[in-house]
Amino acid sequence: MSAAANLPAWVLFLTALLVLVSASLTLIGTIGLLRLKTFYERTHAPTLGTTLGIGLMLFASMIYFSALQSRPVLHELLIAVFMTVTTPITLVLLVRAALYRDRYAGSDKVPPTSPPKSTLLKKQAKIDSD
């Protein structure tokens, strides 16, 4: 922590602020994970952390370390890229699995197996024409 003492105040302030917001957002996300009622709703919540939560934290880290090491520190970008690519993988797989499990369990809260093609196309045409 002694290293931080020599940094300009605005760096410290900005870093602290970003970190705080990021942590708060993440916490809110997990609170949502607790509070929301259905699985599908709950799945949305943690994405607060995986998107802006991480983004702000990385931003804070970049600013802080760039100032600390007096050179641009950008490798945090990699984390952002990795998260962007890997989060959809998990969520897509997991939510689809949940859908299957709900359908199999006979839940009426989820869309049934895909409706006949014709109705869908009709609906689509309507939207397109708007």
Partner 1 sequence: MKRWLPFPRLAALILIAWLLLNQSLAPSHILLGALLALLSTQLLVRLQPPRGHASRFWTALVLLGRVLLDIIRSNIAVAGIILRRRPERNRTAGFVHIGLTSRHPYVLAALACIITATPGTIWVDYESASGVLIIHVLDLVDEEAWIQTITQRYESLLREIFE
Partner 2 sequence: MMLGFFTAALTTAQVLLALAMACSSVRLFIGPRAQDRVVALDAFYVNAMLLLLTFGIRTGSNLYFEVALVIALLGFVGTVALAKFLMRGEVIE
Partner 3 sequence: MSDSMLLILLVALPFVGSLIAALLPTNARNAEAWLAGLIALAGLLITASFFPAVAEGGVLRFRAEWLPTFGLDFSLRLDGFAWLFSALVTGIGVLVVLYARYYMSPQDPVPRFFSFLLAFMGSMLGIVLSGNLIQLVFFWELTSLFSFLLIGYWHHRADARDGARMALTITATGGLALLAGVLVLGHIVGSYELDQVLASADLIRAHPLYLPILVLILLGAFTKSAQFPFHFWLPHAMAAPTPVSAYLHSATMVKAGVFLLARLWPVLAGSDAWFWLVGGAGLSTLLIGSYVAIFQHDLKGLLAYSTISHLGLITLLLGLNSPLAAVAAIFHILNHATFKASLFMAAGIIDHESGTRDIRRLSGLYRLMPITATLAMVAAAAMAGVPLLNGFLSKEMFFTEALTATAPLQSLEAILPYAATLYGMFSVAYSLRFIHGAFFGPPPVGLPRTPHEPPHWMRFPVELLVLACLVVGILPAITVGPFLDAAALGVLGAAKPAYNLAVWHGFNLPLLMSVIALIGGVLLYLILQNYLLSGVEGTPFVRRLAGKRLFERSLVVLSWRIARPLETLLGTRRLQPQLRLVVVVALLAGLAAVGGWQLAAGPPQFSGLDPALTLVWAVGIACAIGAAYQAKYHRLAALILMGGAGLVTCITFIWFSAPDLALTQLLVEIVTTVLILLGLRWLPKRIPEDEPMVQPVTLARRIGDFAIAMFAGGGVALLAYAVMTRPLPDTISRYFTERAYSEGGGTNVVNVILVDFRGFDTLGEITVLGVVALTVYALLRRFRPAPESIAIPEQQRVQNAYDDARPDRRLGDTVAEYLLVPAVLMRLLFPMMLVMALYLFLRGHNLPGGGFVAGLTMAVTFIVQYMANGTRWVESRLRLHPVRWIGLGLVFALLTGIGAWLLAHPFLTSHTRYLELPWLGSIPLASALFFDLGVFSLVVGATALILIALAHQSLRSVLVARPVSPPSKED
The residue ranges that bind partner 3 (CB under 8 A) are 82, 85-86, 88-89, 92-93, 96, 100, 104, 113, 117
Q: Which of 31, 32, 33, 85 is nearest to 54 (CA)?
A: 85
Query: Which residue is associated with the tokens 């690519």?
Result: 85
User: Shortest Cβ distance from residue 88 to Na ion (Å)?
Assistant: 9
Query: Which residue is associated with the tokens 């049934």?
Result: 112
When CB distances are held under 5 to 8 angstroms depending on the partner's kind, the choice from Na ion, partner 1, partner 3, none that residue 130 binds is partner 1
Nearer of residues 5 and 72 to partner 1, judged by Cβ: 72
When CB distances are held under 5 to 8 angstroms depending on the partner's kind, the choice from Na ion, partner 3, partner 2, none that residue 104 binds is partner 3
Residue 50 interacting with partner 2 (CB under 8 A): yes
Which of the 8 DSSP states describes residue 100?
A: H
Nearer of residues 47 and 66 to Na ion, judged by Cβ: 47
C-beta pairs of 81-86 under 8 Å, 24+ apart in sequence: 83/50, 83/54
Residue 38 interacting with partner 1 (CB under 8 A): yes
Residue 111 interacting with partner 2 (CB under 8 A): no
Give the pair of three-digit tokens for residue 119: 């109705």
Which 59-118 positions form the footprint of partner 1 (CB under 8 A)?
Answer: 73-75, 77-78, 81, 84-85, 87-88, 91-92, 95-96, 99, 110-111, 114-115, 117
Which of the 8 DSSP states describes residue 50?
A: I
